[in-house]
Structure 1
């Protein structure tokens, strides 16, 4: 007989149903927990992956930089090894790499010198193969750039003794590179004992200057001579190799005149240099001609300076200048030249006007001994010189005044200078 529940008694579920419901709830919460844990883990993984990726990029970049440095180091080691122990073609390739590395890094230049590449490259300069010789010179140019030590090492290695004897066998680019290298090395002339007299450098430079080389190449050679002429001890070697005559021939070339005149300005202050110019057939005509170059004021100044040195205490040179027509040129220069050129021209005019004055200090004009009254020889020479000066000035003044006036009118503010110049150079102020 089954038991019947009363209407006021609740129905109680069986124990098996309660257990099943609890189990389902536990499983649900477990899944939620696992889901949340999974999301958190994924976010952490993504963050770690991103950080690791950034770190890997940084490491890769650093490795690349190190790799690049290692590449230059490897190239340098390989090039030095080939240069010392390789065959002829390997030496040539090594010189090309050394030039590139030296051009890019100053520290690399110093390191290369310590590794002994300079004597090896100097030895290659004497090669009979034009291409091999040229790459060696180009590498030496880069190694000499801005490094006193490297330049000194090249001179000690005998670079000047390796210069080609025959200029005509060299192509123009090779001549230019040799001239550029020597110009760089000539900066040592003020610091070390430059082996000038015992080397082939001067014959090589003069050979290029007297050849059909480009103006750029010749300008480099003139720069070298300028540096060398600044040292008085080099004057003898320069003169014995005919530098003065070569320079005097080049001063008529406007593109080269300024540097050539500046070098002559160094040499003319020495007794030997002045003597060499006085004995040249090109002096003073070529220098007087340069003083008419209105478009080259620096050349005018340098030419007037050289003529001042030559005319100082030398009546023979002043007479040669007067016969060559220097007075009208000086008149024009004193009116239209640069301030420095005007000053020098007026000083020269003063010397030509007044040969009798002896009250002149050092470097201020001609200084001659006082003549004894009644000396027939000196008196006759003085009178002839005065008459010559007077005639020359009269002839040249009237001949050139119209030209000078026309040019002066084109320049504002010069009328007063013209009047004073005319008055100062008139016949009334000339010696009687």
Structure 2
């Protein structure tokens, strides 16, 4: 019975065991499968969410060298990326600059084309238009050529000069003035244009405009424009001969002489003097100048005006470079006295330098002029100038004093040496007696005269300097020693 029960129980157990084992195996497999899936989802490392919170995965410590290498690699990669970005930005900026330069060049070309078309239109109006269009074209040329050197060249190349010169034959005053100032602006700083204007016959046409029916002056605007043109055209050396022989010199001198009588603008007077100076640079133009009545005396008597004295002295410096000019200056009464007075103009060193140059040239060329200078008291003024003048004035004053001293030495030698300079320096024969050497008082008297003259000149200069110093310091006149 017991065995039966055991066998039944065993059979029962055995009968139920496979079922239990199969269910356990199934549960075990499902749990393992869940863990595998969770591991694959979370990147490995162990069980489910509870296991991840509870279990700690072991951490492997990396060596420091490997970390440093990796950091260096990262920094290199970052730097390379930055370099690539900077290169790309540089290329981009360069492309942008190139595009800007291309666009600016295109704009410049476009502007030049527009300017050229405008200049062509103006010149075409001058050449083929009616009276109103020609007058407007001359005014446009004056405006365009006023400050644009390229426009002056282009207008001349397009043929603007001949129609402007032809406008000088017009009876309309506005057309004459517009053409004169247009030609003036075309010649500013452009030598080829100046030569082309003279070659086109503008000088003679300008002189025709200044021939009024009476003896008076033409319209002030007309002669002012003509004087300005002569000033610009005479700056070119090749034009000096043509203008000098055309009669322009007499016109300029006439303007100068009438400046004191008429209400002539001071700028016109300055332009006249500068034009005459340009013409006087050429020696062949000096003769026509001095042949005009009272021209040199007029220049010398006008030297008292400080506004024009510098220009006049410049003209006289060119005049005395020719024999005819020196003769004309020395023939004027008190000419040397006027020049000597200029030496005391301490406020105008330029005038002092030019006056000493004129006196130096005159003294070097003529003994009679040297005597006239001495009589005018030039020595004391020159001594003062050697002390107070500019460097150039001091050199020229010293040169004049040297010329005068050599002259006096020759006179003394001729007086005391029997008229022979060589007898004074030759050695006497042995046993002979020289009357001058045997009489020391005569030699002392001769030397004392020279010493007295030099001492007197020095005292005069010192006294004049002392008076000037006392006057400037507002001191009593007792400070000046008596002469």
Tell me whether the two structures share a fold, i.e. TM-score over 0.5: yes
CA contact 2:211–2:218 (8 Å) conserved in 1: no
Which residue does 1:231 correspond to in 2? 282
SS of corresponding position for 1:95: helix
Following superposition, the deviation at residue 136 of structure 1 comes to: 1.0
Q: Is the 8 A contact 1:335 1:408 kept in 2?
A: no
1:203 to 236, 250, 275: 250
- Whether contact under 8 Å (1:141, 1:181) holds in the other structure is yes
Q: CA deviation at 1:151?
A: 0.7
1:355-388 deviations in Å (ceiling 9; x for gaps) = 3435xxxxxxx9x99999369xxxxxxxxxx999
Task: Tell me: CA distance 1:232–1:313, structure 2 relative to 1, closer, same or farther (3 Å).
Answer: closer
Report what 1:141 is aligned to.
184
* Residue 315 to residue 104, structure 1, CA distance change in 2 (3 Å): closer
Decide which structure has the larger Cα Rg and report it: 2
Contact 1:215 1:256 in 2 (8 A): no
1:108 aligns with 2:151: yes
Q: 2:211 aligns with which of 165, 176, 179?
A: 165
Alpha-carbon distance, 1:144 to partner: 0.8
Give me the whole-angstrom Cα distance separating, in 1, the residues matched to 2:380 and 2:328.
Answer: 26
Which protein has the bigger helix share?
2
Task: Answer yes or no: is 1:79 the counterpart of 2:122.
Answer: yes
What do residues 236-280 of structure 1 show as CA deviations (whole Å, max 9, x unaligned)? 333334553443244322122222212211221211111111112
**Which of structures 1 and 2 has the larger relative contact order (alpha carbons within 8 angstroms, sep 6+)?**
1
Matched, 1:289 2:341: yes
SS at match of 1:306: helix
Query: Are the equivalent residues in 2 in contact too, given 1:215–1:255 (CA < 8 A)?
Result: no
Gapped runs of 5+ residues in structure 2? 1-100, 421-446, 473-483
Q: 1:279 to 1:76 in 2, by over 3 A?
A: same
Residue in 2 that maps onto 1:184: 232
SS at match of 1:280: coil
Q: Any conservation in 1 of the 2:270–2:308 contact (CA below 8 Å)? A: yes
Q: Would the alpha carbon gap of residues 390 and 170 (structure 1) be closer, same or farther in structure 2, given more than 3 Å must change?
A: farther
Distance 2:375 2:171 in 1: 53
TM-score normalised per structure 1: 0.66
Q: Is the aligned partner of 1:220 residue 2:271?
A: yes
Q: Secondary structure of the residue that 2:235 maps to in structure 1?
A: helix
Q: Distance in 1 between matches of 2:467 and 2:188?
A: 51
Query: What's the CA shift for 1:301?
Result: 1.1
The answer on whether the counterparts of 1:75 and 1:97 sit within 8 Å (CA) in structure 2 is no
Give matches, 1:7-406, under 5 Å: 72-163=115-206, 164-166=210-212, 168-171=217-220, 173-189=221-237, 191=238, 194-212=241-259, 213-241=264-292, 243-353=295-405, 355-358=407-410, 373=418, 401-406=462-467
Structure 2 CA distance for aligned equivalents of residues 352 and 89 of structure 1: 68
8 Å Cα contact 1:267-1:273 kept in structure 2: yes
TM value normalised by structure 2 = 0.60
The CA deviation string for residues 58-92 of structure 1, in whole angstroms up to 9 with x for no partner, is 99999987776565444433322332233333221
Instruction: Find the aligned partners of 2:306 and 2:314 in 1 and give their Cα distance.
Output: 13
Alignment: residue pair count:
335
Q: 1:148 to 1:61 in 2, by over 3 A?
A: closer
Is the 8 Å Cα contact of residues 234 and 240 (structure 2) preserved in structure 1? no
CA distance in 2 between partners of 1:255 and 1:96 (Å): 33
Indicate how the Cα distance of structure 1 residues 62 and 338 shifts in structure 2: closer, same or farther if over 3 A, else same. Answer: closer
Residue ranges of structure 1 left out of the alignment (5+ in a row): 1-57, 359-365, 376-385, 412-432
Superimposed CA distance per residue, residues 133-168 of structure 1 (whole angstroms, 9 cap, x where no aligned partner) = 111111112211222211111111122112223572
SS at match of 1:281: coil
Distance 1:193 1:352, change over 3 A: closer
